[in-house]
Structure 1
Amino acid sequence: MDIGNTSSKLPLQPFRVLDLTRVRAGPTAVRQLADWGADVVKIEEPIDEGSETEMGGVRLGPDYQNLHRNKRSLTLNLKSPEGVRILKELAKSADVVVENYRPDVKTRLGINFEALSAVNPRLIYASISGFGQDGPYARRPGYDQIIQGMTGMMSVTGIPGHGLVRAGVAIADTTAGMYAAMGILMALLERERTGKGQWIQTSLLESLLSVMDFQCARWLVAGEVPKQAGNDHPTIIPTGNFNTRDGMICICVSGRVMWSRLCKTLRREEWLTDSRFETNKARSLHRDELNAELNEIFSGQTTKHWIALLNDAGLACGAVNNIQQAFEDEQVQHLGVRWAVDHPQIGEIGLVGQPYRTSLHRAELSRVAPMPGEHTTEILLSAGLTQAQILELKEANVI
């Protein structure tokens, strides 16, 4: 990917975003805006020379490069009055501020919604927290794994009888970031009509409950407390992973028509009249017996054989891959999920691209993840400060 040479004007290029976020949920939200063209200024604490060297490995590592691409970095000490003054000056011309401080911290610093919207009434201010901006848990620190436990996510993840398991990705962080980005875009659209900014709020707690979706609905609508189902689907049978001669295959057989197709494709037409398997309810009661028979069948041929056979019959199936195998898949390569990047320090690397496109645009990389304060002088000069003023701020540890 040719860094810094965009092929077209991306939809969010008119907008400037001040990024006050840390860890994952906030940066995930901001990345959605940055990848689609927004001018993102990542604001972070000044660091001394020793810690800068120490952080170099982190900044050049996979997670940081993937999470913070397409941003510029400004170091700014928001614990100092002068730092807050500079932030407010930048906020005057910004469109969006995104933060994930605990609710009391931003108020104490004087950078909350009320303070910044006073200098720019058109400002969209987005807050991401662990538990919400108010309520009995508002001041608690919230981390992805804690939220997975509290929402019941762990209670429906894992193999029955083997204990509760966290999801293998930071699902609460990522979900909260995505919902925050959606809220920001909605607010920008409304501002076109009203001319007014607003405060967008979301939390890891409510975002993860939302993305759990049908599992939560089973309780809210039917009074049913969902349990672990392992690799089996809780309501659609058979669905799950099965051993093949050289790996593993996943199938999902939904409804009577698909079940009939599976039985005929596997030459097990007798299952259609077998009382144990005749209906989805019966298959649920006899899931272990059915899975054992399917494992015996699938283990007789290769994964490639079964994928071709089942797909030809119109049945949903796929290989169970590791991450390397996933990115080697021909469809993944065709879709361009991997952004190949020639990084000036690391060399050739790959980043995870945006998962959607429009008829006019594809998101792209304009710059790699910045080092701390890499663009401080550039940003402050454009804000009207002189070189002498910038030097004074650096000597006072404001930047």
Structure 2
Amino acid sequence: MTASSPASTPAASRPAALAGIKVLDLSRVLAGPWATQLLADLGADVVKVERPVAGDDTRHWGPPFLKDAAGNDTREASYFTACNRNKRSITVDMAHPEGQALLRRMAAEADVVVENFKVGGLQQYGLDYDSLKALNPRLIYCSITGFGQDGPYAERAGYDLMVQAMCGLMSITGHADHEPGGGPLKVGVAVIDVFTGLYASNAIIAALHARDNAGHGSGEGQYIDMALLDVGMAVLANQAAGYLATDKAPGRAGNIHPSLAPYQDFKTRDGNVLLAIGNDGQFARFCAAVGHPGWAQDARFATNTARVQNRSDLLILMTPLMQTRGTQDWITLLEDKAVPCGPINTVAQAFDDPQVRARGIRKELPAAGGLGTVGTVASPMRLSGTPVVYRSAPPSLGQHTTEVLTEMGLDAAQLAQLQAQQVI
């Protein structure tokens, strides 16, 4: 079978990629839940443990709020739905000894635990790695904190915005100080949390492979120490590499790329357009299309390095030119010339884009509690043999408590006792 040929067995009849993997999710807010949603999308059974009555903090981070079938706001914030689909929710008070015992029983049968409490915060409950490893040596235990398990900042609380500032990301995001609106800016999404979730899920899958791969032979789990600050430094990518090569800290340059030109937004006759010219061939085709083929032969602009060095001269020529046509006119002119060019959409326009609609990015999942459906963004992981399955919308608080505890062997009398004690 070639790499491009379809699988011989229909994907729908195969188990999901992580089918059979049990995840105990003790995390809240975004980074941890983002990691566990990825695992859930790939087929893992993720049981999300929430505080009775209150639940995950993000259930209350609104507006905006979800609407019920009649179109009225509920008390459920939409933020929670971004990272909790395909999970089961149970409510357990881990401050109660009986709650701790329940969670230890679950951990003893789990493959993975994910938590984002402060360093050492779960030790008092007997839910730290060492305690649970003694019960389940195969357990993979992932801790997510702001600054990691060691170092001078280990005890500090860490939040996405704080880490965007500390790692230098805000110093390279936004317009330069001398420009209108200049100054450091955060990214419009909590990208450090999201990237931490991505790195954490990769580490967890790698640890599962190491545990279960016959070549390793141990069959033992391991501990994963994820820190938002580590991730923030890692995702500086080429900007960090440039600093390490030169010892010169990069600055803010708005939408201009520090190593490519022209690679930025331009004002058009009726709005803005984005040009992302990444090589000399694309620039030559652009010049020919706009009636200035000589620009590509000009020594100041013939190579990308020359264009970066002479960016101001190039922009003197290009800025008035780009204002002679409308945004869609530029896209139409350049799209068949293999010159990357596109609009600067709002989120609403992005969801309405024909390519986004064709790819089925928006998913509507049936919701519990009379909410009708909940909109969610499709996973970008497109596996041909073991595709993502959208099993369920983000759960209501404690929706699966009875179901999960019954699977553990508790009977109705035991459940009633735990409810009476306010453990669940």
TM score, norm. by length of structure 2: 0.87
Counterpart amino acid of 2:29? V
Does residue 36 of the first structure (1) align with residue 42 of the second (2)? Answer: yes
Relative to its length, the structure with more helix (as a share) is: 1
Displacement, 1:304?
Answer: 2.2
Q: Secondary structure at the match of 1:41?
A: strand
- Structure 1: any 5+ residue segments left out of the alignment? 1-5
> Which residue is 2:195 aligned to?
175
Q: Distance in 2 between matches of 1:54 and 1:184?
A: 29
Q: Distance in 1 between matches of 2:282 and 2:344?
A: 21
Q: 2:108 aligns with which of 86, 92, 109?
A: 92
Contact 1:59 1:371 in 2 (8 A): no
> Which residue is 1:314 aligned to?
338
Identity of aligned residues (%): 40
Q: 1:335 aligns with which of 359, 362, 373?
A: 359
Displacement, 1:287?
Answer: 2.3
127-136 or 289-298, which moves further after superposition? 289-298
Q: 1:22 aligns with which of 22, 28, 35?
A: 28
Contact 2:16 2:386 in 1 (8 A): yes
56-65 or 318-327, which moves further after superposition? 56-65
Contact 2:300 2:310 in 1 (8 A): yes
Contact 2:366 2:393 in 1 (8 A): no
> Which residue is 2:414 aligned to?
389
> Which residue is 2:264 aligned to?
240
Displacement, 1:279?
Answer: 4.1
Does residue 206 of the first structure (1) align with residue 230 of the second (2)? Answer: yes
Counterpart amino acid of 2:265? N
Counterpart amino acid of 2:35? A
Does residue 188 of the first structure (1) align with residue 212 of the second (2)? Answer: no
Displacement, 1:289?
Answer: 4.0
RMSD of the alignment, in Å? 2.2
Q: Distance in 2 between matches of 1:230 and 1:54?
A: 34
172-181 or 108-117, which moves further after superposition? 108-117
Residue deviations 1:321-355 (CA, integer Å, cap 9, x gap): 11111111111122222213343533344211110
Q: Distance in 1 between matches of 2:366 and 2:338?
A: 41
Alignment length, in residue pairs?
Answer: 392
Q: Distance in 1 between matches of 2:414 and 2:157?
A: 37
123-132 or 294-303, which moves further after superposition? 294-303
The 3 A distance-change label for structure 1 pair 342 and 289 is farther
Contact 1:60 1:346 in 2 (8 A): no
Q: Secondary structure at the match of 2:239?
A: helix
Residue deviations 1:87-137 (CA, integer Å, cap 9, x gap): 111111111110001112112322111011111111111111100011111
Q: 2:168 aligns with which of 141, 144, 152?
A: 152
Counterpart amino acid of 1:95? D
Displacement, 1:86?
Answer: 1.0
Q: Distance in 2 between matches of 1:348 and 1:386?
A: 32
Q: How does 1:114-133 map to 2 (within 5 A)?
A: 114-133=130-149
> Which residue is 2:282 aligned to?
258
The 3 A distance-change label for structure 1 pair 173 and 352 is same
Displacement, 1:59?
Answer: 6.7
The 3 A distance-change label for structure 1 pair 292 and 324 is farther
> Which residue is 1:101 aligned to?
117
250-259 or 155-164, which moves further after superposition? 250-259
Displacement, 1:38?
Answer: 1.0
Residue deviations 1:351-375 (CA, integer Å, cap 9, x gap): 1111021121321221111122111
236-245 or 8-17, which moves further after superposition? 8-17
341-350 or 214-223, which moves further after superposition? 341-350
Displacement, 1:48?
Answer: 7.2
Counterpart amino acid of 2:93? N
Contact 2:173 2:253 in 1 (8 A): yes
- Structure 2: any 5+ residue segments left out of the alignment? 1-11, 67-73
Residue deviations 1:282-302 (CA, integer Å, cap 9, x gap): 433442342343232222222
Residue deviations 1:257-281 (CA, integer Å, cap 9, x gap): 2222222121112323445434434
340-349 or 202-211, which moves further after superposition? 340-349
> Which residue is 1:3 aligned to?
none
Q: Distance in 1 between matches of 2:89 and 2:281?
A: 56
Contact 2:367 2:394 in 1 (8 A): no
Q: Distance in 1 between matches of 2:297 and 2:403?
A: 74
Q: How does 1:68-87 map to 2 (within 5 A)?
A: 68-87=84-103
Q: Distance in 2 between matches of 1:305 and 1:178?
A: 38
Q: Secondary structure at the match of 2:231?
A: helix
Q: Secondary structure at the match of 1:145?
A: helix
Q: Secondary structure at the match of 1:105?
A: coil
Q: Distance in 2 between matches of 1:204 and 1:59?
A: 30
Q: Secondary structure at the match of 2:419?
A: helix
Q: How does 1:286-305 map to 2 (within 5 A)?
A: 286-305=310-329
Does residue 137 of the first structure (1) align with residue 143 of the second (2)? Answer: no
TM score, norm. by length of structure 1: 0.92
* Higher-RCO chain (CA-CA 8 Å, sequence separation at least 6): 1
Q: Secondary structure at the match of 1:363?
A: coil
The 3 A distance-change label for structure 1 pair 116 and 79 is same
Does residue 60 of the first structure (1) align with residue 60 of the second (2)? Answer: no
> Which residue is 2:5 aligned to?
none
The 3 A distance-change label for structure 1 pair 393 and 196 is same
Q: Distance in 1 between matches of 2:212 and 2:53?
A: 39
Contact 1:33 1:181 in 2 (8 A): yes
Q: Distance in 1 between matches of 2:221 and 2:366?
A: 38
> Which residue is 2:53 aligned to?
47
> Which residue is 1:166 aligned to?
186
